[in-house]
Amino acid sequence: MKTLFTAVPVGIWAVISTCAFMGCAASSDDPSARAGESSGESSGQVSEPLAEAPDSVVGAYESTTPTTGYPDLRAIVFTRHRAGNGLEFFADVDTGIRCVTTPCPSMARIEGWYTATDRVVTLHTTRVVVVPRTDVFDEGRFDGTYDYRREPNGAFAVTREGETRHFQSVDTYCRADKDCDHQSYIRPYCLGHAICGDDSRCGWQCGNP
């Protein structure tokens, strides 16, 4: 019987450091792989991108804003893994398409890289994945610079062109096992591999794949 261990966000770096001496698998989120420099602008004061993504940005988020139109950004993950001229991100977008047969292109995955300051985050899409393949929206639909803020309840709010969207911070987010590769979560002391659970949360399965 396979056992799924869910993510525990508390004390992540302390636990991973301890694991280095106890033989458990290290987090695939490598803090040494950090972003290079890139510029971004916001509607307010402009800041230079930080050498490291601020903790207020890195993480997984699910939208709590009601859908008012399509395509609609429903979840986004900002990692510390280097990609392009910054750090890796991926997001899931509701295309608004509904079908009576499968596969159906109701959800699209966008992948790319981002840069961030302590005030803004800038997205650069490099790939859109839709199954079956169809041009549901322009590749750069969500590209650009967003003002962001962390709210007292832990929510993450982003604003662009006067429109604000709200996201709730979650431990991890995934739709496939590979989505967990560069996210931080505690793993048990065993050889195994990352697994995406039915609840769209990353976990760890001991044993061979």
Q: Delimit the domains of the chain by residue range.
A: 46-171
φ/ψ (deg, to 5) at 21: -95, -15
- pLDDT surpasses 60 at 31: no
Question: Which pLDDT score, from 0 to 100, does residue 50 have?
Answer: 53
User: Does the reported pTM lie above 0.75?
Assistant: no
Residue 21 scores a pLDDT above 90: no
**Is the separation of the CB atoms in 115 and 85 below 8 Å?**
yes
- Average of pLDDT values for 62-87? 93
User: Residue 121 — very low, low, confident or very high, per pLDDT cuts 50/70/90?
Assistant: very high
pLDDT at 16 over 80: no
Alpha-carbon distance of 61 to 182, in angstroms, equals 15
pLDDT in tens, 126-155: 999 887 777 778 888 999 999 999 888 878
Q: Is the pLDDT of residue 110 over 70?
A: yes
The second-level CATH assignment, the architecture, of 46-171 is Beta Barrel (2.40)
| pLDDT(46) > 70 | no
pLDDT classification of 209: cutoffs 50, 70, 90: low
Tell me what percent of the residues of the chain surpass a pLDDT of 90.
48
- 173 compared with 104, residue with greater pLDDT: 173
Rounded Cα–Cα distance for residues 195 and 41 (Å)? 37
pLDDT tens, residue by residue, 55-67: 889 999 999 999 8
pLDDT recorded at residue 132: 74
The conformational region for residue 87 under phi > 0 = left, psi -120 to 50 = alpha, else beta, is beta
pLDDT (0 to 100) of residue 51: 54
pLDDT at 81: 94
The helix (run of H) or strand (run of E) holding residue 12 is helix 12-22
Query: Which carries the bigger pLDDT value, residue 209 or residue 97?
Result: 97
Mean pLDDT of 78-105: 92
Cα separation, 181 vs 195, whole angstroms: 9
Residue 26, pLDDT score: 43
